[in-house]
Structure 1
Amino acid sequence: MSAKIAAQLVSQRRFLPLLLAQSLGAFNDNFFRYSLVTLVTFGGLTLFDLERDMMVPIAASLFTLPIFLFSAIAGRMADKFDRTRIMRFAKFAEIWLMLIVALAFFLEQPLLLMVALFLMGTQSAFFTPAKNSALPTLLTPGELVPANAMLSGLLNVSVLVGIGLGTWLVMRPFGPELVGLGLVGMAVLGWLAIRRLPSAAASQPDMPLSLNFIGETFRVLSYAFKAPEVLRPLLGAAWFWMLAASIITLMPVFTAAILGADESVVLLFSALFTIGAALGALLCGALSGEGDALPFSVIGAIGLVVFTVDVAAITWSNPIVPEGAALIAANAFLADKSNWRILADLGLAAISAGLFVVPLQAMAQRRAPAELRGRLLAAGGIMNAATATLGQFTLAGIVLLQLPIQMAFLMIAFISALAVTFIFWRLNLRRGAKV
């Protein structure tokens, strides 16, 4: 049983330090980002007198831009150098970055905060390919699904806690200073954790190192397109990140304009989606056994079709709430039992998303040949960043086309239906090959 495998893994040095280091890093990323966004939105923090409507997307782009720029080089390094050493270096660098952030909060220097945000994205761009390519080296093929399930589940919890604590703490007395101290403390703990991880040997130590990030990006993507058995699960995982970005971008406007609810309901939905995705990932890990668990992706994709269509259907006739109208808070929203179906749909859609993505992550790691593993999985990181960015523009596209906001949910359902069809086709091909 995968639950037994997971219980064994959390007690072993070849996995637990990585689980802790990633979770602490995800917490720090979101603790800092949402502290900064909250200061921009509600605290009047600005740079070059930019309006907050410009500052927030600039901040978001500064974190994701390094993933586009450096993931390919990071993937090459993950094949050339010991993956554990790369992660140790990245986590040590995080300590210094958090010291810079703490100083910037203390001195109220927005430019330094923005520079630090770009550098944090850079640190994540190098940590992630090393982590992904280290997993098949440190673990057996049968351990990859439960391991990814635990990583994904705890990652979602860490993101949620970081968002909530960052949003709340930074506006309290001495909040920015406390945020800075917390960031440094978590970075130190992450570094101490990753130091316990065993070596994960390089696959091609004699390969030359290229710093041409543009050329290397095209080269890495070409590797992925020449390996369709790896590309397919990478594209599925990229769809998950587009889904998550679409939901995060869409939810505030959907909540206000369609449901007539305020930001407390947005926070409720965010918590529901994050916890649901974590539960889906952990459920997949507990029930999947030692196979690639592809049937769980089918179940997850079907759930995404059913529950997102239902959200669109039950809110389609809602009148648009005009800007400036009084909005209800979370307690009033929950008191209306007609809203419980929306909560159930969103929660079950999130669980379905967690079920969908975990088998695909493990499949890509298992199928990637050792000599190209770092670069192929780095290609996945590039695609994840690209689709997440595309997902953030979902709402803008709907507005430009003058479509109902609910069309976004129908789009999610349509693409998920295509995923179900494709996975069923692949499973039938497998069965036919075995006959």
Structure 2
Amino acid sequence: MQPKKPSNQFSLLSQRRFAPFFWTQFFGAFNDNVFKTALLTILTYDALSWTTLDAGFLNNLIPGLFILPFVLFSATSGQFADKFEKSRITRYIKVLEIVIMVVAAFGWMTHNLWLLIAAIVGMGLHSTLFGPVKYAYLPQQLHRDELVGGNGVIEMGTFVGILMGEILGAVLVVHKTWGIELVAGGTILIAIVGWLFSRRIPLTPASAPDLKINWNPFTETARNLRFSRQNKPVFLAMLGNSWFWFYGAIVLAQFPLYAKNYLHGDHSVFVLLLTIFSLGVGAGSLLCERLSGHKVEIGLVPFGAIGLSVFGFDLFLASLHYTNTATVDFLGFTAQSGSWRILFDCLMIGLFGGFYIVPLFAVIQTRSDPAHLSRTIAGMNILNALFMVVAALVAMVLLKAGLTIPQIFMVTAILNAIVAIYIFSVVPEYLVRFLAWILIHTIHRVRTADIARIPEHGAAVLVCNHVSYVDAIVIMGASPRPIRFVMDHQIFKIPVLAWLFRTSKAIPIASAKEDPVLMAKAFDDIAAALADGDLVCIFPEGQLTKTGEINPFRGGVTKIIERTPVPVIPMALRGLWGSLLTRGEGNPFQRSFKRGPLSTLELAVGAPVAADAATPQYLQEQVQTLRGDWK
């Protein structure tokens, strides 16, 4: 029996299938950052008591060492997560965390920097082992329409854990009397709390129990990446995810010295920057569910990428206008001219980072082979690690070349824009979905009725009434899955719309009288798409309505399902008639103004119709019933 779906994403926190796992993840992220931030803070503000090495070098080296195990052990950890039951693996990982924190405690108490750095590598190993389990666990325990919300809560919890860990680590370690002791004992205690929560995680079966472990990390890494590259949308999502960690690694690694040397703040200013950034990521992650309409909405990814570049560049500009040279605490900093602009930029970078990263995780989880999901996540972690190692090297090279930290922010923002343009040109589905998302959240407010009747997997033909030039975009934006649209070839001559439909792999069609060759090719392309398990949408009227009423359905749908018998799903657009892009008589602008801005429309989805019952007349009756009197 399937568990009852929660009313909203936070309701998941009351359910055993989610809550213990959430808190296990939360305390892991919390502990990582108490430890790392305490070490980075002490090396920034009290370096001479620990080492003679340059603080800027260490601030980039330590994050690089933390992610080194991702390069070496991700392939093996992905195999473990696919082969073994996930709750048991999680408990073993949390025991390892306790052992690492005991080792770190000896480093703290003896002032042994290299023992602490070894513990940093150990915590990187802990995170390496847990990563594939984390993202493979969620699709096994959550419904498909809970994944965006669940990922959003996990990402929010992760960054709140990061935030609280950074604050606590930075505050505890500078405590005049017991700072070192509090960090040493506190990290052990947090690890024990995480282990206790892990004991409540429900049984989550192995997805590939017969898998034979390949202990060679290099050959397994190569095999994982080769396998992932076969699924282009997933592989591009992995690359996009890794790029986010490149961006974040460069920006966050500069925050300690940025706060000290450019903002002239004490450690509390460093904590404030981290706090604002983490709150932004948490808020962006949670907003994804609302902005995506409870589905995997990759249209948010370009939106996030734009924000990362805009506000990253503005952080550079804001830094140039900050003129204070006196040492200040966080309250003194907020009183300085230009400080609020810097904080706003940090908040927006985090917010748009949340918009960017959460849909990418959901794409990887929903479009990967379930039996290979943990290894796919492991492959992504390897890419993340490589990108973050490169980020650390790039930051060190830029600093060595004489660039200031604000200039590094600028370079990173420009690089992000270049990478985003490349990704969206290679996989234009992201940009198409972004434009569709913009349309249904600006010009129109789109509601859906029974959208879950569109199948999560497998081929089907969707039929819908044809009201406007943007019908396909509205349906595309509302659908949880990509759709191949069959469109009149004339629409491919319209600027912008032509690019949009070609990019979304629409199938042009003409009548037998106009172009019999194109018509035959269209039916061949439709059959091939259905054979591949795609959704294909047609407008059986064959033309836009001029009156708002549904024109007679033609026989094209019959030819399609005779050749490829698949379910047919009737749909109806209602509330769109009379908009600017409809085809009625009279002045279209006048009709649009009568409707007013942000007019509401709805896509209603009917029950699937078996192929042998899907006659044009019956389908028209179903669409007419769905539409009702609301044109």
Q: Same fold (TM over 0.5)?
A: yes
Match in the other structure for 2:378: 378
Farther off after superposition, 97-106 or 402-411: 402-411
- Once the 2 structures are TM-superposed, how far is the Cα of residue 174 of structure 1 from its aligned partner? 2.2
Are 2:73 and 1:66 aligned? Answer: no
C-alpha distance 349-419 of structure 1, shift in aligned 2 (>3 A): farther
Q: Deviation digits for residues 213-254 of structure 1, max 9, x if unmatched? A: 122122212122122121121112112111211211344565
Unaligned runs of 5+ in 1: none
- Once the 2 structures are TM-superposed, how far is the Cα of residue 104 of structure 1 from its aligned partner? 3.3
Distance 1:416 1:270 in 2: 25
| Amino acid of the structure 1 residue aligned with 2:301 | S
Contact 2:6/2:12 (8 A) holds in 1? no
| Amino acid of the structure 2 residue aligned with 1:225 | R
C-alpha distance 182-333 of structure 1, shift in aligned 2 (>3 A): closer
Distance 1:189 1:319 in 2: 42
Contact 2:311/2:348 (8 A) holds in 1? yes
C-alpha distance 86-334 of structure 1, shift in aligned 2 (>3 A): same
Contact 2:308/2:413 (8 A) holds in 1? no
Alignment of 1:7-86 (within 5 A): 7-41=10-44, 42=46, 44-46=48-50, 50=53, 52=55, 54-86=57-89
- Once the 2 structures are TM-superposed, how far is the Cα of residue 418 of structure 1 from its aligned partner? 4.7
**Match of residue 302, structure 2, among 298, 307, 310:** 298
| Amino acid of the structure 2 residue aligned with 1:149 | G
C-alpha distance 332-232 of structure 1, shift in aligned 2 (>3 A): same
Match in the other structure for 1:267: 271
C-alpha distance 373-68 of structure 1, shift in aligned 2 (>3 A): same
- Once the 2 structures are TM-superposed, how far is the Cα of residue 332 of structure 1 from its aligned partner? 4.4
- Once the 2 structures are TM-superposed, how far is the Cα of residue 4 of structure 1 from its aligned partner? 2.8
Match in the other structure for 1:424: 431
Distance 1:333 1:312 in 2: 17
| Amino acid of the structure 2 residue aligned with 1:356 | Y
- Once the 2 structures are TM-superposed, how far is the Cα of residue 196 of structure 1 from its aligned partner? 1.0
Contact 1:150/1:285 (8 A) holds in 2? no
Q: Deviation digits for residues 267-290 of structure 1, max 9, x if unmatched? A: 332221111111100111344333
Contact 1:301/1:419 (8 A) holds in 2? no
| Amino acid of the structure 2 residue aligned with 1:185 | L
Distance 2:111 2:36 in 1: 15
Contact 1:301/1:420 (8 A) holds in 2? no
Match in the other structure for 1:226: 230
Match in the other structure for 1:145: 148
| Amino acid of the structure 2 residue aligned with 1:116 | A
Match in the other structure for 1:216: 220
Distance 1:187 1:302 in 2: 38
C-alpha distance 417-54 of structure 1, shift in aligned 2 (>3 A): closer
- Once the 2 structures are TM-superposed, how far is the Cα of residue 201 of structure 1 from its aligned partner? 1.2
Distance 1:96 1:77 in 2: 20
- Once the 2 structures are TM-superposed, how far is the Cα of residue 159 of structure 1 from its aligned partner? 0.7
| Amino acid of the structure 1 residue aligned with 2:275 | A
Match in the other structure for 1:238: 242
C-alpha distance 265-415 of structure 1, shift in aligned 2 (>3 A): farther
Match in the other structure for 1:117: 120
| Amino acid of the structure 1 residue aligned with 2:16 | R
Distance 2:20 2:69 in 1: 25
Farther off after superposition, 102-111 or 376-385: 102-111
- Three-state SS of the structure 2 residue aligned to 1:4 is coil
Distance 1:254 1:36 in 2: 17
C-alpha distance 220-341 of structure 1, shift in aligned 2 (>3 A): same
Are 2:163 and 1:156 aligned? Answer: no
Match in the other structure for 2:340: 340
Distance 1:414 1:370 in 2: 33
Contact 1:280/1:355 (8 A) holds in 2? yes
Contact 2:50/2:111 (8 A) holds in 1? no
- Once the 2 structures are TM-superposed, how far is the Cα of residue 383 of structure 1 from its aligned partner? 1.2
Q: Deviation digits for residues 362-392 of structure 1, max 9, x if unmatched? A: 1101111112111111111111112222233
The alignment's TM-score, normalised by the length of structure 1, stands at 0.88
| Amino acid of the structure 2 residue aligned with 1:35 | A
| Amino acid of the structure 2 residue aligned with 1:166 | G
Distance 1:170 1:267 in 2: 13
Distance 2:110 2:254 in 1: 34
Contact 2:244/2:353 (8 A) holds in 1? yes
Match in the other structure for 1:179: 183
Distance 2:328 2:335 in 1: 11
Distance 1:114 1:137 in 2: 36
Q: If each structure's strand is expressed as a fraction of its own residues, which one has the higher value?
A: 2
Distance 2:163 2:280 in 1: 11
Percent identical among aligned pairs is: 32
| Amino acid of the structure 2 residue aligned with 1:15 | F
Distance 1:367 1:64 in 2: 26
Distance 2:15 2:152 in 1: 16
Match in the other structure for 2:553: none
- Once the 2 structures are TM-superposed, how far is the Cα of residue 120 of structure 1 from its aligned partner? 1.8
Are 2:219 and 1:206 aligned? Answer: no
Distance 1:72 1:115 in 2: 21
Farther off after superposition, 5-14 or 342-351: 342-351
Alignment of 1:384-399 (within 5 A): 384-399=384-399
- Once the 2 structures are TM-superposed, how far is the Cα of residue 430 of structure 1 from its aligned partner? 4.3
The alignment's TM-score, normalised by the length of structure 2, stands at 0.62
C-alpha distance 29-145 of structure 1, shift in aligned 2 (>3 A): same
Identify the structure with bigger relative contact order (alpha carbons < 8 Å, sequence gap 6+): 1
Farther off after superposition, 55-64 or 19-28: 55-64
- Once the 2 structures are TM-superposed, how far is the Cα of residue 56 of structure 1 from its aligned partner? 4.5
- Once the 2 structures are TM-superposed, how far is the Cα of residue 26 of structure 1 from its aligned partner? 0.5
In our comparison, the structure showing a higher alpha carbon Rg is 2
Distance 1:51 1:127 in 2: 32
Contact 1:278/1:354 (8 A) holds in 2? yes
- Once the 2 structures are TM-superposed, how far is the Cα of residue 426 of structure 1 from its aligned partner? 6.5
C-alpha distance 400-59 of structure 1, shift in aligned 2 (>3 A): closer
Match in the other structure for 2:349: 349
C-alpha distance 319-13 of structure 1, shift in aligned 2 (>3 A): closer
Match in the other structure for 1:285: 289
| Amino acid of the structure 1 residue aligned with 2:431 | F
- Once the 2 structures are TM-superposed, how far is the Cα of residue 108 of structure 1 from its aligned partner? 3.7
C-alpha distance 256-124 of structure 1, shift in aligned 2 (>3 A): closer
C-alpha distance 221-355 of structure 1, shift in aligned 2 (>3 A): same
Farther off after superposition, 342-351 or 403-412: 403-412
| Amino acid of the structure 2 residue aligned with 1:164 | I
| Amino acid of the structure 2 residue aligned with 1:220 | N
Unaligned runs of 5+ in 2: 435-499, 507-535, 539-631
- Three-state SS of the structure 1 residue aligned to 2:14 is coil
- Three-state SS of the structure 1 residue aligned to 2:299 is helix
**Match of residue 276, structure 1, among 267, 280, 298:** 280
Alignment of 1:356-375 (within 5 A): 356-375=356-375
Distance 2:332 2:179 in 1: 30
- Once the 2 structures are TM-superposed, how far is the Cα of residue 116 of structure 1 from its aligned partner? 2.3
Distance 1:53 1:304 in 2: 24
Distance 2:259 2:35 in 1: 25
C-alpha distance 308-180 of structure 1, shift in aligned 2 (>3 A): closer
- Once the 2 structures are TM-superposed, how far is the Cα of residue 140 of structure 1 from its aligned partner? 1.5
Distance 1:287 1:3 in 2: 18
Distance 1:430 1:62 in 2: 42
Farther off after superposition, 401-410 or 214-223: 401-410
Distance 1:388 1:95 in 2: 26
